[in-house]
Amino acid sequence: MSVIEAQGVSLTFQTADGPVHALKDVNLTVRPGDFVSFIGPSGCGKTTFLRSIAALETPTAGRLRVNGMDPDAARRARAYGYVFQAPGLYPWRTISGNISLPLEIMGFSRADRAARIDRVMELVELSGFGGKFPWQLSGGMQQRASIARALAFDADILLMDEPFGALDEIVRDRLNEALLALWRKTGKTIGFVTHSIPEAVYLSTRIVVMSPRPGRITRIIDSPLPPERPLDIRDTPEFIALAHEVREGLREGHSYD
């Protein structure tokens, strides 16, 4: 059983300068509970692929299934929660109110909403901050609130598009650790787009290396690292070897002609 299945997925944008091949013949199977990172330079199609899974873009060729459904149907079935680079919290809503937003849209009852908000706030370690407004929280806390919002309606897939890209290194480390703990606790399938090799290696069970023009997968690396990963795992030879492999994958896909 696969959660995400892509067979020969291509996506071509028609622009004034001619067609742009954002994705070309992408094949990938994601198993339940996988933590898959997509890494590659700008224009390699990693974000486009994530957006296609979320039915925010429509592939022009190939077959893409999410939970065995086409992406549009999967979205209506609340298959995924999406986290963007910016938290995108509404300034006029409290943190609780922001987490409540998708629940209101999906028609959950008031009591159910309150229970779910409590649960996901605890999950992202924001308990007690529900009554605060976004501007009263740090950037890292805001991003945690946006992750809570994506988790609130119990989607089994979490799609994250460079969620920590705008945060500083220290906060980022802290959130990476918290995200791993959350993933182990909830068993969600996570699709994670990043620019950072250490981040991809630290988090993932599988690393998908992509390259641009046309956007394609050049290498899929299964991580030998154990699920339990303290931050200092990054100094082990296994970690360094894996990072090296990812770097090589990036280099071979990159043509400088």
By the criterion CB under 8 A, which residues form the site for another protein?
51, 54, 56, 75-76, 78, 80-82, 84, 86, 88, 90-92, 101-102, 104-106, 133-135, 153
Nearest approach, Cβ of residue 83 and another protein (Å): 9
Nearest approach, Cβ of residue 8 and another protein (Å): 25
Which stretches within 39-160 are classed as H helix?
46-53, 71-76, 95-106, 110-123, 139-151
Residue 44 or 157 with smaller CB distance to another protein: 157
Residue 65 or 216 with smaller CB distance to another protein: 65
Give burial (CB, 10 Å; 0-12/13-18/19+) of 106. exposed
Residue 130 or 253 with smaller CB distance to another protein: 130
Residue 127 or 136 with smaller CB distance to another protein: 136
Phi-psi region at 242: left, alpha or beta (left = phi > 0; alpha = psi -120 to 50): alpha
Nearest approach, Cβ of residue 103 and another protein (Å): 9
Q: H-helix or E-strand containing 24?
A: strand 18-30
Q: Which amino acid is at 38?
A: F
Beta bridge partners of 5: 29, 65
